[in-house]
Amino acid sequence: MAVLKCLLVVSAVLPLIFGQCTLPKAAILVKRPVFRFTMDLATRLALDKENHFVASPISQWILLSALSIGALEETSMELKKVLELHPHKCFNRKYWAVVNDAMNTEDSNDVSVKRSPLVVLDQSFSPFMASSFLSNLNQTNMCKVITQNFDDAPQTAGIINEYVRESTNGNIKEIINPTDLYETNLILLDSLYFRGSWTTAFPTHNTDVVDFHNELGAVVGKVKLMFLNSEFNYTNLDQIKASVLQLPYGKNKEYSMLIFLPFDGVLLSTMIYNIKDISLATVFRKFEMDGPRTLDVQIPSFEIFSELDNLKELLTDMGLRSIFDFSAKFDLGVDVYINNFVQKAKIEVTEDGTEAASVTEAELGWRSLDLSFVANRPFFFMIVNSEKELPLFVGAFSKPTGFEYTS
């Protein structure tokens, strides 16, 4: 009887689970895992890069999610915990569909988003891989799988780097060196390219060179501060002690940049740490409550290039340990582990809009009496899919002209 009762419970629960496994439900559930992972990593990057960087944590989330398909034992548990994956595979498949949709937009005159994932296998290694792993990976539509001869390292590196250049529109020139292929038989890449024109562009004649201040108020350099007076979503969030401005892209405003400016006296690192305790839904709900406002917006034009070559250490600190050593367990038929994890990312913000890419492996014109948002001191930013409330890029700006942009 005990066995019969157990079977009846399973029989009743399974249809309920699969009945709820829908894209709309997954679109709601996936927001929190991606956002928390993004902010956990951003907090560590801000500390490591002295509050001056750009990154695409969602790319790491996707790559690690792909690896979770074939992960076993402790490796599987770590990935599920850190990525906050759903206990049921059906929902994870829907997660990937939602994220893929949020990161791919038809090229148009005002906004283009393109994700180009790739798995590269050593031809001598691939016959030993479990067919179920590759089959499951292909079914997710998360990445393209190709086979290369890793013994011919220069040729393989050249093919990979050409793929990177093409997928990022030339913004990232190289992600791998031939020497990186030594004792390597599996490479996962996830490149993300974004180009967006502001819905309301900044007039170039309203840009002027002004002082940029550090968190203590001291002048640390000069920036080209762009000026615009228009109607935007703007609010104050006491939970994180910051003002938040939304600058939309394109005609349909599906994507936007959120700029978080700490209240006076609040450290940028403290504000970034606190953001993980809210959500993008919190921000957008507050925008709706306050309504659009006409205000003077002053933000710098800037360019940041970041080479994140210590992601392995940062992710280990977040709880992913076994995946980076020989204790990693995957359903691949042979022992394999991640010996390196890097990302290169670049962003350029101008009067016209924003161009950003990543690969994983002012005398002013005029003034008014309206509210002002003046980013002439360190701030944090996100490029988000506003409709799906998913962050594509995050970063911080604190080093103006006269400092090195590369971080």
CA gap 217, 402 in Å, rounded: 17
The domain spans of the chain are 32-196+306-345, 204-304+351-397
- Determine contact, residues 346/328, Cβ cutoff 8 Å: no
Q: What is the pLDDT of residue 337?
A: 64
Lowest mean pLDDT among 210-214, 368-372, 376-380: 368-372
User: 328's torsion region: left (phi>0), alpha (psi -120 to 50) or beta?
Assistant: beta
Q: What is the pLDDT of residue 20?
A: 79
CA gap 29, 97 in Å, rounded: 13
Non-local (6+) Cβ contacts of 45 within 8 A are 53, 55, 308, 314
- Determine contact, residues 37/360, Cβ cutoff 8 Å: no
What is the distance of C-alpha 107 from the center of its chain? 20
Is the pLDDT confidence value at 125 over 80? Answer: no
Q: What is the DSSP string of 294-353?
A: EEEEEEEEEEEEEEETTHHHHHHHTT--GGGSTT--BSSSS--------EEEEEEE-SSE
Is the pLDDT confidence value at 353 over 70? Answer: yes
Can you tell me the mean pLDDT for 128-141?
60
Q: What is the pLDDT of residue 160?
A: 87
- Determine contact, residues 172/357, Cβ cutoff 8 Å: yes
Q: How confident is the model at residue 406 (pLDDT cuts 50, 70, 90)?
A: very low
Burial class (CB in 10 A: 0-12, 13-18, 19+), 367: exposed
Non-local (6+) Cβ contacts of 152 within 8 A are none
Q: Tell me what the pLDDT averaged over the chain comes to.
A: 82
Q: Does the domain made of 204-304+351-397 have the CATH classification 2.30.39.10?
A: yes
Q: What is the pLDDT of residue 47?
A: 94
Higher pLDDT, 279 or 192: 279
CA gap 263, 247 in Å, rounded: 19
Q: What is the pLDDT of residue 245?
A: 97
Q: Write out the two tokens for 308.
A: 């994140």
Q: Write out the two tokens for 143.
A: 């990445």
In CATH, which of 3.30.460.10, 2.60.40.420, 3.30.497.10, 3.40.50.170 is domain 32-196+306-345?
A: 3.30.497.10
Q: How confident is the model at residue 134 (pLDDT cuts 50, 70, 90)?
A: low
Strand partners, 230: 295
Is the pLDDT confidence value at 242 over 90? Answer: yes
- Determine contact, residues 382/336, Cβ cutoff 8 Å: no
Q: What is the pLDDT of residue 201?
A: 92
Q: What is the pLDDT of residue 144?
A: 72
Higher pLDDT, 128 or 239: 239
What is the distance of C-alpha 163 from the center of its chain? 20
| Percent of the chain at pLDDT exceeding 90 | 44
Sign of CA dihedral 146, 150, 156, 160: positive
Q: What is the DSSP letter of 215?
A: T
pLDDT in tens, 93-115: 888 888 888 887 765 668 888 88
Task: Tell whether pTM > 0.75.
Answer: yes
Q: What is the pLDDT of residue 253?
A: 92
Residue 227, phi then psi, degrees to nearest 5: -130, 140
Q: Write out the two tokens for 245.
A: 């401005």
Lowest mean pLDDT among 119-123, 262-266, 288-292, 304-308: 119-123
CA gap 177, 161 in Å, rounded: 9
Burial class (CB in 10 A: 0-12, 13-18, 19+), 56: buried
Is the pLDDT confidence value at 369 over 50? Answer: no
CA gap 212, 244 in Å, rounded: 19
| Percent of the chain at pLDDT exceeding 70 | 82
- Determine contact, residues 290/235, Cβ cutoff 8 Å: yes
Amino acid of residue 320: L
pLDDT in tens, 25-82: 989 999 999 999 999 999 999 999 999 999 999 988 988 888 787 777 788 899 899 9
CA distances for 279 relative to 39, 151, 282, 297, angstroms:
10, 46, 5, 24
Q: What is the DSSP letter of 285?
A: H
